[in-house]
Structure 1
Amino acid sequence: MDVNGKTVLLTGGSAGIGREIARQLQAKGAIVILTGRDPARLAAMRGEGFEVIEADLSNAAGVDALVAALGDRSIDILINNAGLGVPHDVRNAMPDPDAADGCLYANLSAPVRLITALLPRLRARPEAAIINVTSGLAIAPNTASSVYCASKAGLRSFTLALRAQLAGEPIHVIEALPPVVDTQMTADRKTKKLPPQECARQIIAALEKGHDEANVGMVKVLRAVYSISPAFARSVMRRF
């Protein structure tokens, strides 16, 4: 797909991977509408020439408010990038169930609800795309982030089913699977991290080249290992 002139709705676009996706799409001629929760970050992105909508996607009301804020705008590309990460490890202390609910909604229910609401607009375009940003952890979970892993695995499963449902329609459904990326969410991680600029570049390249998946960075290795031995891949990831 040529993104020049396309209108993009990008959730979670004011920081991290989303911010870099927004900047790179804008540089290629796309019209980017982005969402976020932090007013200061949104103001900074507005200053870079983006249309911004403040939106909390951890609940149904926030998703519905976003759809209402769009009015009757046409959308060519929907990128479900917004996400929450929460620790959920019963070995250390009893986790916060409300935090888990917010994570599950933001990472899984919100994309499903947003796609459902916007699908008629996407179907009305000559060509369209949906990009769901999951994670390498959707393939094989780690131990400490069990709820986050479950939410991303759920979104991966939904994406696979949606692609099959839309087969034959001019809507390309893409799954983007990042590795550990250098963002606010991973600030306390001591492992090697991929720069968000490179992650964004690989995701956009998958869109432009018509790929069904963007296996970013080390996720390519994880996918290869998993194809040979799922049990070994899972055992490796459980160490983290």
Structure 2
Amino acid sequence: MILTGKTVLLTGGTNGIGRELVFQLRTKGATVITTGRNPERVAAMRADGFEVIEADLSNAAGVDALLAAVAGRPIDVLLNNAGQLVDHDFRKGLPDADAADGAIYANLNAPIRLTTGLIEVLRARPESVIVNVTSGLAISPAARQPVYCATKSGLRFYTLALREQLKGTGIKVIEALPPVVDTQMNDDNSMKKMPAAECARQIVDAIEKDRDEANIGMTKALRIAESISPALARSVTLRF
């Protein structure tokens, strides 16, 4: 897809990978509508000239409010990037089940609900794209992040099935699978991290080159290991 002149709805664009995506997509000539929850970050992005809709995607009301805010807009790209990481490690104590509910909704239910709500808008465009940002951990889980891994794995399988359903419709479905990226979400992770700008660059590149998947950074090696032996891949990721 040539991004010049396209309108992109990108969730979670005030921080991390999303913020880098917003700037890079604008450089490509796209009009970007993004979302955020933190008032200070929302204000900062608006000061940089971006349209930002305050939206909490951890519940149905927040997603529906976002859909209402973009009603009637000619959206060419839906980029489901927003995600939440929740502490859910029984080795540390009893996890907060309510916190898990919000993360499950933001990571899995929200992309499904947004796709459903915007599918006819996307069908009406000459060409359109749905991009779901999952994770290398959608392939093989990390023991310390079971809820995050479960939601990203769920979104991966949703994406695979959705791509098959939409064959021949003019809607391209892309999955982006980042590795550990240098964002606030991973501040307590001691692993080597990919710069967020580079991760965003590879996602944009996948959109421009009409790829089905963007296996980014170390996710490429994980995909190879998983194809040879799923048990081998799990033995690596479960330690983290």
Q: Secondary structure at the match of 1:232?
A: helix
Partner residue in 2 for 1:151: 151
Partner residue in 2 for 1:176: 176
* TM-score using structure 2 length: 0.99
Structure 1: give runs of 5+ residues left out of the alignment: none
The within-5 A match list for 1:55-134 is 55-134=55-134
Letter in 1 for 2:23: R
Deviation of residue 40 (structure 1)? 1.1
Q: Secondary structure at the match of 1:13?
A: coil
Deviation of residue 92 (structure 1)? 2.1
Q: Secondary structure at the match of 1:35?
A: strand
Deviation string, structure 1 residues 140-198 (Cα, Å, up to 9, x no partner): 00001001100000000000000000011101000000000000100111111000000
Structure 2: give runs of 5+ residues left out of the alignment: none
Partner residue in 2 for 1:45: 45
Deviation of residue 42 (structure 1)? 1.0
* TM-score using structure 1 length: 0.99
* Deviation larger for 43-52 or 167-176: 43-52
Letter in 2 for 1:237: T
Deviation string, structure 1 residues 24-83 (Cα, Å, up to 9, x no partner): 000010000000101111111111111110000000000000011113111000000000
CA distance in 1: counterparts of 2:212 and 2:25, whole angstroms: 19
Q: Secondary structure at the match of 1:74?
A: coil
Deviation string, structure 1 residues 63-116 (Cα, Å, up to 9, x no partner): 000011113111000000000001211122111000110110000000000000
Partner residue in 2 for 1:25: 25
Letter in 1 for 2:60: A
Letter in 2 for 1:145: Q
User: What CA RMSD, in Å, does the superposition of the two structures yield over aligned residues?
Assistant: 0.6
